Chains A and B, each alone.
Chain A
């Protein structure tokens, strides 16, 4: 009589290892999808930041004689200032646009862009007898482990 093989199927260890491998696969896929969503949101944010930085430069180009009045340095707190000069009006506009004030309201809440510690929107105006130039710094996405800004955008323009 032939002897039966004692190995009848998978052992419990083999089954568990298999389940763990499949689980790792699922986790990887879910991480991938959340990363893809995050990337898309960051891409959208960058598109908007590009337009906002253009807005700032365009407003300064429209008033080059008073460019030095357009110094701007904002973090996540935006305080509306007085509006005695055009530069003040424009800077208040920037504040509102950076916060996306009065644009979209979803389920009763205004949708505003995320702002993290370390985020900064800054204009640095340099003016001498020959020319006036502006440098725009946009730091978004907060700080990384090395305490450096995660996302940076610089724009430099000679105004006159």
Chain B
């Protein structure tokens, strides 16, 4: 019997097929990696956008309420707003006070703090009902923005000039700008609050390290943060609020 001429693939055909197969798998793998990385980047940017939007909306709402006094509230009402340089981070600390009922007043703290086992920071919001009284009660203690790089609050008077200090429990850094009495008196001069919030992506997005300098506000204040090069993405959100309740306090 005559043997069949074609028994299978030749060596050359097999090698060509392997090469084409490897190239196809490599292309698929590479594009899968790109798509996954892009998807992660988009998720991270969405997370930054959502965090920034939600936090600034919340802060703006609290700032609009700052200094609101119910007409039937009788206890001493001498605290409306405070801005302090917070020692735990290079960011600011904001305290807002207002009435929520004829008998109750809340104190809201916004401060940037470090996570326990890492150098990453978050923006926390603590709500205390009836502070400085025997009925003091912690209502909320929550993380409102994870991975915060910077949070700055600039309080301005009616002429658009920055007011410093604006505090009652002033720290050493605040007292460089004026006395405690001035800090307390400046509360009633506050007209506008400007808030800067810089949020970092949870994951590394870029292929190469980038050098980040966070200025937020004014380079002349010397608050510029020069960060170590990294591959994270950052966005600054800014809002400005007219403090209608404080302006109307007689």
Interface residues of A (CB under 8 A from B): 1, 4, 8, 22, 26, 29-30, 33, 36-37, 40-41, 43-44, 47-48, 50-52, 54-55, 58-59, 61-62, 83, 86, 89-90, 93, 97, 100, 102-108
Chain B nearest CB: distance from A158 CB in Å?
Answer: 15
Interface residues of B (CB under 8 A from A): 1-2, 4-6, 24, 27, 31, 34-35, 38-39, 41-42, 45-46, 48-49, 52-53, 56, 60, 158-160, 191-192, 196, 198, 210-219, 234-242, 244, 247
| Complex contact A47–B215 (CB within 8 A) | no
Find the residue from A48, A50, A90 having the highest chain B CB count within 10 A: A48
Chain B nearest CB: distance from A78 CB in Å?
Answer: 16
**Complex formed: what's the CA distance from A29 to B36 in Å?**
11
| Complex contact B42–A102 (CB within 8 A) | no
| Complex contact A61–B42 (CB within 8 A) | no
A4-B5, A43-B49, A55-B239 known; 9 new pairs, CB 8 Å cut-off, are A33-B35, A37-B41, A44-B48, A48-B238, A51-B237, A54-B239, A58-B192, A104-B236, A108-B211
The number of inter-chain residue pairs (CB within 8 angstroms) is 112
| Complex contact B42–A103 (CB within 8 A) | no
| Complex contact B217–A102 (CB within 8 A) | yes
| Complex contact B60–A54 (CB within 8 A) | yes
Find the residue from B191, B215, B218 having the highest chain A CB count within 10 A: B215
**Complex formed: what's the CA distance from A107 to B231 in Å?**
12
| Complex contact B213–A61 (CB within 8 A) | no
Question: Which of B4, B38, B234 contacts A33, CB < 8 Å?
Answer: B38
Question: Which of B5, B27, B46, B191 contacts A40, CB < 8 Å?
Answer: B46
Which A residues are CB-close (under 8 A) to B31?
26, 29-30
Q: What are 27 A-B residue pairs whose CB atoms fall within 8 Å in the complex?
A: A1-B2, A8-B6, A44-B48, A44-B235, A51-B56, A51-B237, A58-B241, A58-B242, A59-B192, A59-B242, A61-B242, A62-B158, A62-B247, A86-B158, A100-B236, A100-B238, A102-B215, A103-B236, A103-B238, A104-B212, A104-B215, A104-B216, A104-B235, A104-B236, A105-B214, A106-B211, A108-B211
Which B residues are CB-close (under 8 A) to A89?
159-160
Residue in chain B with minimal CB distance to A52: B238
**Complex formed: what's the CA distance from A114 to B158 in Å?**
32
Which B residues are CB-close (under 8 A) to A36?
38-39, 42
